[in-house]
Structure 1
Amino acid sequence: MKLAAHKLAGHLKNGPKAPLYWISGDEPLLVQEACDTIRASARQQGIETREVLHLDAHFSWSQFWEQVSNLSLFVSRKLIELRLYQGKLAAEGLKELVAYLGSPYAQDNLLVISSPKLETAQIKVKAFQQVQEQSVWVPIWPLEGQAWQQHMRHRAQTLGMQLTEEAVHFLQTHTEGNLLAAAQTLTKLQLAYPQGGALDLEQLSEYLQEDSRFSLFALVDACLLAQQARALHILAQLRASQHEAPLVVWALAREMRQLMHLRYHLDEGMTFASACKQVKIFEKRQVLYRKAVHRFTLYQLEQIHLLIQQVDLAIRGQHWVPPWDLLTCCVQIMARADVPDA
């Protein structure tokens, strides 16, 4: 079944009701929080053991079957997360999921799949529809306009703050509607104003001016503009201020996906303006993307995206290179003005 994102918490009130939940969308923060909601519900039902599998170049479905079948006398049910990095699962993968849902293992485990926005062709495939019949699919849509502002007001309230109307509009403009950047700003505002209460435009503007030098947003812009020295300096400051590495990964991965989509449309013959409209890039930021997209081929962008995925593995201790060292390598490549031929 297909379930709207805002109904997920209510659906899970008395625990997960399906053997499989598929969360898809291009808003990493909302996808992450939807997965968090499922995890919390699973824990309330006594599902404590959790395994995470990444569908990357090293993945094989034998790993999946090994995990779903590997239950002990002390573990009655297990939460298994399968993370996709594309909006499409190959026919083999869908076939494996159909087989899994028809097996006894589907009753012994709770499977959660997270992925970018699913391609239209994927949704129309018969095997995907078979999977959907026995599972819950939660598509996450980008928040825009009034919906974005309402979400930010609610998020601020949960942190003990009330943003004035002008402050919300300014936050949306400042972050160009980037939900992750806005949410991070609210979290840091809570630390800057621990007393909470109402925050107006003047307070928000003053804080953002002081903070913007070493923000994730500034890091991304420096990479797009090929300002390598500045990007590396900002990354070092983020590391020194004990920013969480996963937030940096999300920000860089999001920009790489945007660049890959943009490069793909340009290679297909679409004009730059039309491609930006298709990818939903704000007009004010198009000059940044114009400079960046012409420095890379699609293959090069895909290779950088794969490198960013390696950082995620390093964060979980599954890569021998420390995550911040890998992030430094990613930023060095993304912010290079002269990119070697693929």
Structure 2
Amino acid sequence: MIIKYNYLQANLKKNPNAIYFLIGSDQYLLNESAVSIKKFWKKKFESDENILDLNDNDWSETFHLANSYSLFTEYMLLDIRYHKKILDANSLNLIKNYLTKPNEKCLIIIRAPLLNSKQLQPLSTYNNSLIIQTNPFSPFELEKFIISQLKSNNIKHDASVPELIFQNCQNNMLAAAQAIEKLSLINTENKVFSAKIISEYLSDQSEYHIYDLAKFCIIGNAEKCLDIIKKISETKGEETFVLWILTQEIRLLINLKQLLNNNITFDIACKNLKIWPQKSQIYHVALKRFTDFQLQKLIKFCCEIDEIIKSNNANSAWDKLQQLSLLLCYGWK
């Protein structure tokens, strides 16, 4: 079954599915979907949780883990991060095979923001899988969301306040939620928020896209890169996803260099790597900033950042991600 985020809560009142696919470009809704599913599962069962970054299509290993026994609890939850644009036929068949006989004591959440509902259509017919679309709300839906969140947090306000929050957050769901959370922290029983009070606590958080980070790194716009990373960190974005975005660009540059070293023309190399013609020139310029050895050093640096993220040292991880973006912008001096 394929549903929109709006219908997830109603669906969670039913029996749990074996696999929940979370797709779509809104990181806030994607994360909220995962949080809701986890709460639903853990309310029913005490379970061990594992987070896996699936970047090499090794679904067989994933399902082997799903069918294994936890050392600590009877039940298990797998939070899978899949950041590729395609799902090949072999991977799709492995998922189908698992759905025919899933481990009822394991729940799987697969965050796949780059996949679309058409690619997952063959899985929608299984009654134990659910595909949740987390596309950004329309302006009307976002305003309704702001009003409902103000109400659920018992925040009394003037009539103009929802519109003011909407204007300040400009289509950024996460920014809107953060703004309301900030207001709830200073809320008191008899306080009524006016537009003037709200303005003091809100800062302009215009819409940004995490995928723009890759583009600005390749172009070499360091100021924009740092601004995007700063906003992502301030709105509690995921360091792992940012690292994956930057690592993918580095690997793309490595693959491009390898093809050129093998006497493949630049245009054909770009076509083989699915780099759009309108973007090929910026990659041509970016390649000049690095030697083969320097690109390998960047990959090693990515591995170091990954270890920092796994150690739960968030502040240090964001600092390193900023350094990595600057190295992509300026080259390894």
Q: Does the alignment reach a TM-score above 0.5?
A: yes
CA RMSD of aligned residues (A): 4.7
2:317 pairs with one of 306, 311, 326:
326
Structure 2: distance between partners of 1:307 and 1:162: 49
**Partner SS for 1:205:** helix
1:107 pairs with one of 97, 104, 108:
104
Task: Tell me which residue corresponds to 2:255.
Answer: none
**Partner SS for 2:162:** helix
Identify if the C-alpha distance between structure 1 residues 81 and 178 changes in structure 2 by more than 3 Å, giving closer, same or farther. same
Structure 1: distance between partners of 2:138 and 2:300: 29
Task: Tell me which residue corresponds to 1:171.
Answer: 165
TM-score by length of 2: 0.67
Structure 2: distance between partners of 1:15 and 1:203: 45
1:63 pairs with one of 57, 61, 64:
61
Matched, 1:12 2:42: no
Letter in 1 for 2:45: G
Identify if the C-alpha distance between structure 1 residues 339 and 72 changes in structure 2 by more than 3 Å, giving closer, same or farther. closer
| Cα offsets for 1:119-152 (capped at 9, x unmatched) | 365245x4x456x554111111211211101101
Task: Tell me which residue corresponds to 2:176.
Answer: 182
1:153 pairs with one of 120, 131, 147:
147
Asked if 2 retains the 8 angstrom alpha-carbon contact of 1:228 and 1:335, the reply is: no
Matched, 1:96 2:105: no
Structure 2: distance between partners of 1:81 and 1:254: 16
Identify if the C-alpha distance between structure 1 residues 24 and 166 changes in structure 2 by more than 3 Å, giving closer, same or farther. same
Matched, 1:118 2:93: no
Unaligned runs of 5+ in 1: 271-291
Identify if the C-alpha distance between structure 1 residues 79 and 120 changes in structure 2 by more than 3 Å, giving closer, same or farther. closer
Task: Tell me which residue corresponds to 1:249.
Answer: 239
Structure 2: distance between partners of 1:142 and 1:85: 18
Identify if the C-alpha distance between structure 1 residues 6 and 216 changes in structure 2 by more than 3 Å, giving closer, same or farther. closer
Task: Tell me which residue corresponds to 2:268.
Answer: none
Structure 1: distance between partners of 2:154 and 2:285: 44
Identify if the C-alpha distance between structure 1 residues 38 and 26 changes in structure 2 by more than 3 Å, giving closer, same or farther. same
| Cα offsets for 1:46-81 (capped at 9, x unmatched) | 242222221124x73343133212215974432222
Note the C-alpha offset of 1:194.
4.3
Note the C-alpha offset of 1:296.
6.1
Identify if the C-alpha distance between structure 1 residues 230 and 193 changes in structure 2 by more than 3 Å, giving closer, same or farther. farther
**Partner SS for 2:104:** helix
Matched, 1:226 2:222: yes
Task: Tell me which residue corresponds to 2:264.
Answer: none
| Cα offsets for 1:171-200 (capped at 9, x unmatched) | 222222111122112212222344574323
Matched, 1:141 2:135: yes
Task: Tell me which residue corresponds to 1:267.
Answer: 276
**Partner SS for 1:154:** helix
TM-score by length of 1: 0.66
Structure 1: distance between partners of 2:311 and 2:187: 35
Structure 2: distance between partners of 1:204 and 1:251: 32
**Partner SS for 2:198:** helix
Identify if the C-alpha distance between structure 1 residues 84 and 164 changes in structure 2 by more than 3 Å, giving closer, same or farther. farther
Percent identity, aligned pairs only, is 18
Identify if the C-alpha distance between structure 1 residues 78 and 338 changes in structure 2 by more than 3 Å, giving closer, same or farther. closer
**Partner SS for 1:160:** coil
Asked if 1 retains the 8 angstrom alpha-carbon contact of 2:226 and 2:322, the reply is: no
Letter in 2 for 1:143: F
Matched, 1:35 2:34: yes
Asked if 1 retains the 8 angstrom alpha-carbon contact of 2:23 and 2:116, the reply is: no
Structure 2: distance between partners of 1:177 and 1:78: 36
**Partner SS for 2:80:** strand
Letter in 2 for 1:93: S
Structure 1: distance between partners of 2:180 and 2:110: 28
Letter in 2 for 1:226: A
Letter in 2 for 1:70: S
Identify if the C-alpha distance between structure 1 residues 196 and 339 changes in structure 2 by more than 3 Å, giving closer, same or farther. farther
Letter in 2 for 1:35: A
Unaligned runs of 5+ in 2: 250-272, 291-295
Note the C-alpha offset of 1:251.
9.3
Task: Tell me which residue corresponds to 1:26.
Answer: 25
Task: Tell me which residue corresponds to 1:281.
Answer: none
Structure 2: distance between partners of 1:203 and 1:306: 48
Asked if 1 retains the 8 angstrom alpha-carbon contact of 2:305 and 2:320, the reply is: no
Letter in 2 for 1:53: L
Structure 1: distance between partners of 2:65 and 2:154: 41
Identify if the C-alpha distance between structure 1 residues 195 and 88 changes in structure 2 by more than 3 Å, giving closer, same or farther. farther
